[in-house]
Amino acid sequence: MILSGEEIRAQLGTNIVIDPFDEARLNPNSYNLTLHNELMIYEEVELDMRKPNRVRRFAIPAEGLVIQPHQLYLGRTVERTETRNFVPMIEGRSSIGRLGLFVHVTAGFGDVGFRGFWTLEMFAIQPVRIYPGVPICQIFYHEIRGAITEYNSDKYQDNTDIQPSLLFKELDPTRRHDPQMKLPFGMEQPGN
């Protein structure tokens, strides 16, 4: 069962956090999340699941940025969310989809207990100009039945930025909990 917009509002501050929250972005059964002003692209031609891949970060100017087909762009939402006792999911808005812009390749499914910003895996069918702050996707919430074990990951939980793939942490257990592990240029967290 999907929560209505009224139920999303009723759960704010307890089971749902959307920060910042703007009443105007609340829909009948979802909430519109907006695009942050930075993007990231992989610099590698061939990506390797077992290693951190180099990335390049750049800003989306106020006049917009044309993104090109055959290129994956990683972005993030302006809003930070937290979800307890519900399953959060994101989908592209229909107006965005009608421009041929995918906002997630496969990762629109969230976990109970997720806290952080949503990384968007954006891919365009044809060149399309995007803008910072545009309502890019919508978050909605499913009820869940049965005992709940909240999401707890050293990869993406409590993220503060765009998150490139950290699959290598799963595939190479020696890197999983190494606080001295150096990430390639462009993958450093702000302030590090």
Task: Indicate which residue of 38, 91, 121, 170 is catalytic.
Answer: 121
Q: Is residue 18 part of a domain?
A: yes
Where does 45-164 have alpha helices with state H? 94-97
Percent of the chain clearing pLDDT 90 (strictly above): 81
C-beta of residue 72 within 8 angstroms of C-beta of residue 121: yes
**In the chain, how many domains are there?**
1
DSSP for residue 46 = S
Active site residue 121: yes
- Which H or E run includes 174? helix 173-176
Residue 172: inside a domain, yes or no? no
DSSP 153-170: -TTTTT--S-----HHHH
Looking up residue 135, the CATH number of its domain turns out to be 2.70.40.10
In this structure, which amino acid lies at residue 94? S
pTM: 0.87
Within-domain flag for 157? no
Q: What is the pLDDT of residue 174?
A: 66
| Boundaries of domain holding 83 | 5-146
pLDDT in tens, 107-152: 788 899 999 999 999 999 999 999 999 999 999 999 999 999 998 8
> Would you say residue 168 lies in a domain?
no
Inside any domain, residue 78: yes
Number of neighbouring beta carbons within 10 Å of residue 10: 13
Which residue type occupies 55?
V
| pLDDT at 109 (0 to 100) | 84
Bridge partners for 38 per DSSP: 59
User: What's the CA gap between 17 and 27, in Å, rounded?
Assistant: 16
153, part of any domain? no
At 172 the pLDDT is 76
Average pLDDT, the chain: 90
Six-digit token pair at 80?
């930070």
| In a domain? residue 58 | yes
Residue 169 is assigned to a structural domain of this protein: no
- Identity (one letter) of the amino acid at 82? E
Cis-peptide, bond into residue 20, ω within 30° of zero: yes
